[in-house]
Amino acid sequence: MLSWFWLVGAQAFGTTATVQGDDVQLAESLKTTYPNAEVAIKECHQTYTFTLSDKDSIPVRGNLHSEESYLALRYNLKMNRSVFYDDMTEVKELKVTDGRNKKVTVFPYYGPYQTGEYFYDDAKLCTFILDFPSKGSLLNCQFDKTYKDLKYLTSVYLPDFYPVVDKTLEFEIPDWLDIELREFNFEGYNIEKQQVRHEDRKSTSYIYKVSNLPEMKDETGAPPLAKVYPHILVLSKRYTQHDQSHDLLANTKDLYKWYASLVAGVKNKPDVLKTTVDILTSGKEKDLDKVEAIFYWVQDNIRYIAFENGIMGFRPENADEVFNNRYGDCKGMANLMKEMLVLAGFDARLTWIGTKDIPYNYSIPSLAVDNHMICTLFLDGKRYFLDGTEEFIGVADYASRIQGRQVMIEDGENFILDTVPEFDKTHNKVSYNASFSVDSNAVLKGHIESQYRGEEKTVIRRSYAAMQNNDKEDALKEFLKGGDKNVQVNNVEATGLSDRSSDLIFHYDARINNHVTQVGNEYYITLDNRQEYGQARFTDKRINDYEFQNKVLIEGKQELHFPASWKIDFLPDPVDIQTDRFAFKLQYRVEGQTIHYKKSISIDEALLRHEDFEAWNQAVDQVNKFYNSQIVLVKP
């Protein structure tokens, strides 16, 4: 995407917008339509053109000319406008004017960009502050952006993070350039398309016009923008120069050829790694044990830091440099792991993949189709997809973000397309068995066994490993308590905390306060203190689908033992909800002097669509009612 914006409380340097009467009325109208918006894009015209040069080593360039006008929807607004670029792009000719086309002075900052723990090696931004003193204030901004290598012009979005009143997007493609404009997520939007021929310039313009676009929403759990919002992939296939045709990225083979050329430029020094590989594999007879030793060593000893822009987004760092630095991005870690496995005598290969954030596959020859690199191991007729950036994951386990995703595996001058296995919900199963009774102090006490698989166990292991040694026992108890201050946990026994290939199992004693209320000879008991998804309703304001972290299967069994003289006065009615995407089953049954509680919650697909929210909310309401309905026992 070209850029995004955010609002800050900062000082503006003389940037003053003018106010027109019609703009005030428009601002009031837009504020009614988009009550949460503070700025709207009144007009936006973006034109992409292309140039061919005999002088440059990369002859084809892309050029964007952007003209945008911003309308303030409230008073005293300061807006930080940013345009991103990197080593392969350049921003220039920045100009800001007011509503009367009078120049406004701004002081842009050009420099590196970084966020959180992820450092983007060559990502930069041009940022400046715009000052809107009044509702209806208008400022115009225009700039040019050059793509020094056309491969890096991948996608263009129609909406923005602000409402858009009118937008025109134009691609003027010369006859010497073969570009395909691939449209995504256009359904449901009133987008007008037009084609205009320019005989004098020997080019054709492809024009997209759209009005009244709501702002893009970055909501918690929302699917990636590329899966939701209308955008265009720019597929630069070939160009003609001096009557000769030259391929750019005409097909998947061209994409692989370019990737392979970057890998060919990597100069690994395997000797630096040999001693460590020998130590890791020494004394291990089974091949898979050797592989695990290397795979887990990379996870544990190489810190993941992303370098995701420009050429650094595609070229692996030398394996020995990653080894010596003890950090690297996904490509550097994959390259290191490959070299270590090859030194140990295995067939290991670099592998390109787009995570679940990417809605495309390798049928599309574009740099937009992948965002990650792993290592594929060929062993005993099976392929293992090893992702060194995933800490505390087993060698035959895969994170949900790469499950089911297509991969491109290096194979000399050729490549292999394959798919990472996708697990069903049972892979992430969480189960527990508990046995309780009510003591003389009206407290639930008993023993619990809980078991975690897949994504669930990986998350726990990561959190546990991140704790200081003197905090680990307390942290483990806090996790088992589930954040409930009423729960006391003792005598914890854990199995599998250090074995990535096995399930994670806990045995412990528990006391749960405030879950039994005694009124005379009646006991009101809340047996389930976990109550998963009991409050997980979606509000009417949410506009995006919701993506869970992974598929879910929770199976719980609890027993409540009570004296023979006690009687059951009330048990909540069962809940049995089954849909194509999720299911909730909760029920009590009685056998002798024991109440058996069985719970099953499953989410079969990680994506819950907006049209399913009503059914989901209805289900959650029933589940919550069940949770809030107490068992009633009567003591004689």
Listed as own residue / partner, the contacts of 366-371 with beta carbons closer than 8 Å and 24 or more positions apart are 366/154, 366/233, 366/234, 366/235, 366/249, 366/255, 367/151, 367/152, 367/154, 367/249, 367/255, 367/313, 367/314, 368/154, 368/155, 368/226, 368/233, 369/255, 370/408, 371/308
d(C-alpha 445, C-alpha 439), whole Å? 7
pLDDT classification of 13: cutoffs 50, 70, 90: very low
Whole-Å CA distances, 568 to 516, 539, 585, 634 = 14, 38, 22, 6
Q: Which residues of 466-499 are buried (b: 16+ CB within 10 A; e: fewer)?
A: eeeeeeeeeebeeebbeebeebebeebeeebbee
**What local confidence, expressed as pLDDT, does residue 197 receive?**
97
Four-CA torsion 216, 222, 224, 226, nearest 10 degrees: -50
| Residue 252 or 101, more confident | 252
Decide if pLDDT at 192 tops 80. yes
Share of the chain above pLDDT 70, in %: 94
pLDDT in tens, 394-404: 999 999 999 99
Two structure tokens written together for 97: 């004017």
β partners of residue 142: 67, 95
Distance CA 330, CA 389 (A): 6
Mean pLDDT of the chain: 92
| Buried b / exposed e along 270-283 (16+ C-beta atoms within 10 A) | eeebeeebeebbee
Give the pLDDT of residue 310: 53
Q: Using pLDDT thresholds of 50, 70 and 90, give the confidence band for residue 9.
A: very low
pLDDT tens, position by position, 15-67? 455 566 689 999 999 999 999 999 999 999 999 999 998 877 789 999 999 99
Give the model's pLDDT for residue 15: 46
- pLDDT tens digits, one per residue of 396-455: 999 999 999 999 999 999 999 999 999 999 999 999 999 999 998 999 999 999 999 999
Average pLDDT on 509-524 reads 95
Residue 1: band (very low, low, confident or very high) from pLDDT cuts 50, 70, 90: very low
Torsional class of 14: left (φ above 0), alpha (ψ -120 to 50), beta (otherwise): left
Overall size of the chain counted in residues:
636
pLDDT tens, 577-596? Answer: 999 999 999 999 999 999 99
Helix or strand run (H / E) with residue 410: strand 406-411
Q: What is the dihedral of CA 272, 277, 282, 286, to 10 degrees?
A: -160
Give me the pLDDT at residue 469, please.
74
Report the distance separating Cα 118 and Cα 306, nearest Å.
5
Tens-digit pLDDT profile for residues 304-343: 987 655 555 688 999 999 999 999 999 999 999 999 999 9
Using an 8 Å Cβ cutoff, are 219 and 228 in contact?
no
The tens digit of pLDDT for each residue in 248-300 reads 999 999 999 999 999 999 999 999 999 999 999 999 999 999 999 999 999 99
pTM for this model (two decimals)? 0.91
Mean pLDDT to the nearest integer, 162-172: 97
What distance in Å separates the CA atoms of residue 162 and residue 168, rounded to the nearest whole number? 16
pLDDT exceeds 60 at position 118: no
Contact 157, 1 (CB under 8 A): yes
Instruction: Give the pLDDT confidence of 216-231 residue by residue, as tens digits.
Output: 988 999 999 999 999 9
